[in-house]
Chains A and B, each alone.
Chain A
Amino acid sequence: MNIPSSIWTLLIGVGLTLISLWYGQNHGLLPVAASDEAVLVDGLFNSMMTVSVGLFLLVEGVLIVSAIRYRQRPGDNTDGPPVFGNVPLEILWTALPAIIVIGISIYSFEVYNSIGGFSPHDMHEPVAQEATRMPGAAIAATLNDSPAANLNQQKSDEARQDPATASVRNDNQIPQKQNAPGMGVVAPTLGASSDREGKPPEMVVNVTGMQYAWIFTYPETGVVSGELHVPLKRETQINMTANDVIHAFWVPEFRLKQDAIPGRQTEVRFTADRVGKYSLICAELCGPYHGAMKTQVIVETQQDFDNWMTEQQASASTALNQAVAAVDRTDLSPNEFLAPYTKEMGIQSEMLQQIHSFHH
């Protein structure tokens, strides 16, 4: 084992460290951070990136140097030196990764704790119900204790009556779940961040995923929307579930992802801290049009949010009237008829076209 002389080792080590530190901060791989939680996650990623760059350069460097320096010279058919091992060196390279991963684990643990991963106060006990679960029998909800969840169910039932979603659902294939069954576990997968522990969220939004749309209901006002509007700097709790298959709620700019699982309710909390429009993407394969299942999150100031909410409330009643009136309008083709609804749902009309042509 010929290790380069110590001065070179030192210089290379310093060089590697500097490059790693620089790249770890300037990799430009992540989108803007738009929530309080995102900043913490980015800090974790940056430090992992720093270590990784150093490790990567070390390994590639050794490979390249070996390939050049230790290549077999023409005519030399002898063997290399019989080195079988080196205990201190092996201890070093066992201990070093161990220390690194322990460090990353502790850091991750901290971040996870601060974004509310443990928040045990929010754990809902699954409530035992006199649920009859013979086939065909109505299934009693276990989430009755939580009015929000109930409303969620109610609203999603309503939404399912909506012709817009009816056209993209395949009821014939998936018997829609009426209510969370017995196991209806309420899993607070990301609860209150540590500074807000024990406090209720400032705002609650119920989210239902279905093939291929998201439906947001605001339990305080009863507004139903196809886009998620959240006010700036207010801690928001999302209660989510799914109607048919598993979906996942993902906002890259919030660094936030959670599966919406039929039969369960999951909760995540976050605080948006940057005004803007971000995509909200379904991140769990949910069928052929999985790629089109996306909508927007609009983070706006409290005032804009309030305006939007008032508008929605006002238009809710008129929209309902229109919808009733529209039922009679048989002269329209399904696409024309659905256009205003699908637009609201964030569904592109091309997608509907494709569904009609491909779906049997």
Chain B
Amino acid sequence: MQSPTIDPAKTALNYHQAHATDSHHAEHPDLRRFGLIMFLAAEGMIFLGLFGSYLAFRATMPTWPPAGTPELELLLPGVNTVILIASSFVMHNADTAIKKNDVVGMQTWLAFTAAMGGIFLVGQLYEYSHLEFGLTANLFASAFYVMTGFHGLHVFVGVSAIVAVLWRSRVTGHYSSEKHFGVEAAEIYWHFVDVVWIVLFGLLYLL
């Protein structure tokens, strides 16, 4: 249609580089953090949708959980919950460490967090395998599996993110007190997963 008249020098620049070298552009604050928070807001709405539907089912059913649903064991999920909540604090130490430029400290704390996340997932799978009801047993069972499963998927993504950060941190200087968005993003995400679990635990096990 039209002859290519692009200056190759210009196309080679991507926005962020150009913007860093261009004195006319005032330095934008790092937008990735803001973007991540927006994304988590959307994610939160998916969970809210699931919570809302759960509450709606609960409200319209005369008995809840439906008769015949075995009582849920509280001990294992309780321990799991404590581990997950504790991991949020552990994770925060990683962030504190990198802000002090302590890469080894960050790696240590991250490894702990990932391990705790792993324990949570294993605990969840153990619970699944010992439950007396399957996915299609009744409405409560279905909701239980879908909601905890969807959350478990998020825990898995969170653990993967932490492992990815660990993997990247083996390069010296990849993360520093100045530049550690990866650590921050993984942390924010991890806190989000944690908060969702607290609500979920309350809804499914306690309410």
Residues of A participating in the B interface, judged by any CB pair closer than 8 Å: 126-135, 142, 182-183, 185
Is A128 touching B138 in the complex (CB atoms < 8 A)? no
Is B61 touching A130 in the complex (CB atoms < 8 A)? no
Residues in A whose Cβ lies below 8 Å from that of B139:
133
- Select the residue from A127, A128, A182 with max chain B CB neighbours within 10 A: A182
**Secondary structure type dominating chain A contacts:** loop
Q: Is B6 an interface residue, CB under 8 A from the partner?
A: no
B119 to chain A, nearest CB (A): 33
Is A133 touching B68 in the complex (CB atoms < 8 A)? yes
**Secondary structure type dominating chain B contacts:** loop
- Select the residue from B61, B62, B63 with max chain A CB neighbours within 10 A: B62
Is B62 touching A132 in the complex (CB atoms < 8 A)? no
A26 to B12, CA, bound (A): 69
- Select the residue from A128, A133, A142, A183 with max chain B CB neighbours within 10 A: A133
Is B62 touching A126 in the complex (CB atoms < 8 A)? yes
Q: Is B137 an interface residue, CB under 8 A from the partner?
A: yes
27 contacts between A and B (CB under 8 A): A126-B60, A126-B62, A127-B62, A128-B62, A128-B63, A129-B62, A129-B63, A130-B67, A131-B62, A131-B63, A131-B67, A132-B68, A133-B66, A133-B68, A133-B138, A133-B139, A134-B137, A134-B138, A135-B136, A135-B137, A142-B62, A182-B61, A182-B62, A182-B63, A182-B66, A183-B62, A185-B60
Is A132 touching B67 in the complex (CB atoms < 8 A)? yes
A185 to B60, CA, bound (A): 8
Mark out the residues of chain B between 116 and 144 whose CB falls within 8 Å of any chain A CB in the assembled complex: 136-139
Residues in B whose Cβ lies below 8 Å from that of A134:
68, 137-138
Residues in B whose Cβ lies below 8 Å from that of A133:
66-68, 138-139
Mark out the residues of chain B between 13 and 54 whose CB falls within 8 Å of any chain A CB in the assembled complex: none
Is B60 touching A131 in the complex (CB atoms < 8 A)? no
6 A-B pairs closest in CB distance: A128-B62, A183-B60, A133-B66, A182-B62, A132-B68, A133-B138
